[in-house]
């Protein structure tokens, strides 16, 4: 158990449930949309946000931009097949992971970003 806070954003409840179970050593909250995530962010600042790219309404990338516009700069992991090169350098993405992801790879990535620093 760490006191690091991770916000999980995915419109698929199955993915959220899987991630909540796999990442239970962190303090967790989850959101089904970017809008919901922004509501959470304003009073619960996560150390890291892991978001699906494809969300209904605002995309995962747009959500990260909005989070930054609110003045919050958590580490960010984008679940997408895209690579860093296709995303504007102005947007701070800490890591990318493709679905279906390997949970161990994901937890290592998260630990390297917010725990082992």
* Residues making contact with Mg ion (CB under 5 A): 11, 52, 54
> Nearer Cβ to Mg ion, position 80 or 114?
80
Name every residue whose Cβ is closer than 8 Å to that of residue 49 and which is 6 or more positions away in sequence: 6, 7, 9, 37, 63, 64, 67, 74, 75, 76, 77
> Nearer Cβ to Mg ion, position 6 or 79?
79
- In the complex, the smallest distance separating the C-beta of residue 41 from Mg ion, rounded to whole angstroms, is 19
- Residue 76: name the closest of 92, 58, 97 by CA: 92
**Cα 35 to Cα 39: distance, rounded to the nearest angstrom:** 6
- In the complex, the smallest distance separating the C-beta of residue 56 from Mg ion, rounded to whole angstroms, is 8
> Nearer Cβ to Mg ion, position 106 or 114?
106
**Distance, C-alpha 19 to centroid of its chain:** 11
> Nearer Cβ to Mg ion, position 11 or 111?
11
């Amino acid at each position: 158990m760490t006191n690091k806070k991770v916000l999980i954003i995915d419109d698929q409840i199955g993915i959220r449930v899987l991630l909540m179970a796999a990442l239970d050593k962190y303090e967790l909250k989850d959101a089904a949309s970017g809008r919901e995530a922004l509501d959470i962010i304003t009073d619960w600042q996560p150390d890291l946000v892991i978001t699906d790219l494809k969300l209904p309404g605002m995309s995962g990338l747009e959500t990260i931009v909005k989070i930054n516009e609110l003045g919050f700069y958590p580490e960010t992991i984008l679940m997408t097949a895209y690579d860093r090169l296709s995303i504007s350098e102005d947007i701070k993405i800490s890591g990318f992971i493709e679905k279906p992801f390997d949970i161990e790879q994901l937890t290592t990535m998260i630990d390297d970003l917010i725990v082992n620093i």
